[in-house]
Chains A and B, each alone.
Chain A
């Protein structure tokens, strides 16, 4: 599927979709935050974030714990909606359409923006049923090529060879690293455009972590990947661009974007003193 084909708007009436498309947005940007703030009751958890995330690259979000990295990530697929008493300001654009606002089909956003969580969370079903869960929601069955979809997804997640003989065994019997790759293939099965990863390897051993990092390099050719990690070395190894976040002051504790640029620049030549302190390990 080419990028051209993906440029088709969301399933909301075209005239409303046009309203939210900003002609100034560069077509190279998959996701753009524009002055986005996130409030939990009166507490401002994220403050006026503005940044553009390019297509088919890996963008890492780093920063000390509690600065709002996960909150930022979960805003992209509207998972924060599950928390009561939250409200937002500003916009987030996916392919130029606003995904915050009236008339947005959240269920569809979540299909197009997949997520992999910190702890692997496979369903207590078979491996096949886990991967097939998403497509089945849309009515795909064996007759419609479900087997092929499952095969493709598992292949992309570099898991096919390890499980091809036990597709109908329980997913809970897999190792931690395998379960995480299963979660990745489950997310890929519904053909997302973006894959969000919230510290995907933090619960895994070094060998499994390495596998996941290798996987990300192949995946970025097809998908746009955004990863939150507290492991700086991993961010330096894996990502093309890096965003550094911090709390603005100890009292208000709002998370803000301090610096954002190419990974090489952030780690070798940071413009901001705080960034430099963090990447050199002076704090955090």
Chain B
């Protein structure tokens, strides 16, 4: 049975042949398919690289200081910027966080400590479902709810829409973080006679706070990139400039709440909205500005994401004692 070729073990000649021819083919298939999976991974990464590179190159060409500190100017006049969009993005995400954070944390608290009640299960299910609702439908919802009653578009309506979009992220992350808090901490506080709500506010939640903040930042990252829900709520506003509103308010001796009202009940622009508008216009100048806006937006969103992921990783490493 020995010869100068590869020989194989088997009980009969036929099985011998089966084992031998099988082996080479199996090895080949193994190597081939593993190569394919690596290839596909590279493909996906390559596309990401492609997009980021283009946005950076084209965006840098047209990004300058004017872009960030000036309002839009008519075509042909240089020095226009997207200040209105930047301020709009800030106001919208700020308000959205305000609306989403507290209900989100409270709902997550309930779901974390009552995981097996029907309501607890429903919250988790509902959060998943809510995160799958297309953002444009949420925009329509807020339109019907707020814009129709108010009679005009506003930052308020836009931020409610964004809040609804942020909510699932915040709830999911907060729930996980609360669950990670060692139960001994909570039980210790309760055993000392502290009521549930006090334990929550002074022990459980602070212990989970880093993670909760991560969730909020991720929610902000998601919300600041959304356009669809703002199409019929915030609409867009070329002249939005908080500085001017505040100054005008002070000049007219308006009360604080009136000024705040002015800031919040106007239609606003946001970076994604501006991108959307400019990208569809036939003027090269607007398109260049669209690329610059894309770069600003991308930097904002990606750095938030990278920052949160790195801090999660650092915290995880610390927990493992690395």
Query: What residues of chain A have their CB less than 8 Å away from a CB belonging to chain B?
Result: 1, 5-6, 8-9, 11-14, 105, 107-108, 112, 137-140, 144, 191
Contact = CB atoms under 8 A, between A and B. Distances in A.
Given A13-B6, A107-B26, 6 more contacts: A8-B2, A11-B8, A107-B27, A112-B9, A138-B22, A191-B10
Given A11-B20, A137-B26, A138-B19, A191 B6 contact: no
Contacts, number: 43
B9 A8 contact: yes
A8 B21 CA distance: 17
B134 to A, nearest CB: 36
A14 B22 contact: no
A59 to B, nearest CB: 22
Contacts of B19: 138
Of B9, B11, B18, B22, most buried by chain A (CB within 10 Å of CB) is B9
16 contacts: A5-B9, A5-B11, A8-B8, A8-B9, A9-B2, A11-B7, A13-B6, A14-B2, A14-B7, A107-B26, A108-B23, A138-B18, A138-B19, A139-B18, A139-B21, A191-B9
Contacts of B41: none
A6 B4 contact: no
B133 to A, nearest CB: 34
A191 B6 CA distance: 19
Given A9-B2, A14-B2, A139 B11 contact: no
Contacts of B21: 139
Nearest to B11: A1
A2 B27 CA distance: 29
A75 to B, nearest CB: 21
B12 to A, nearest CB: 9
A112 B2 CA distance: 19
Nearest to A193: B9
A112 B299 CA distance: 56
A17 to B, nearest CB: 9
B75 interface: no
Nearest to B27: A107
B60 to A, nearest CB: 41
B22 to A, nearest CB: 5
Contacts of A137: 22, 26
Contacts of B11: 1, 5, 191
Closest 10 CB pairs of A and B: A138-B22, A11-B6, A139-B22, A1-B11, A11-B8, A139-B18, A8-B1, A138-B18, A138-B19, A8-B7
Contact of B4 (A14, A140, A191): A14
Nearest to B10: A191
A139 B27 CA distance: 14
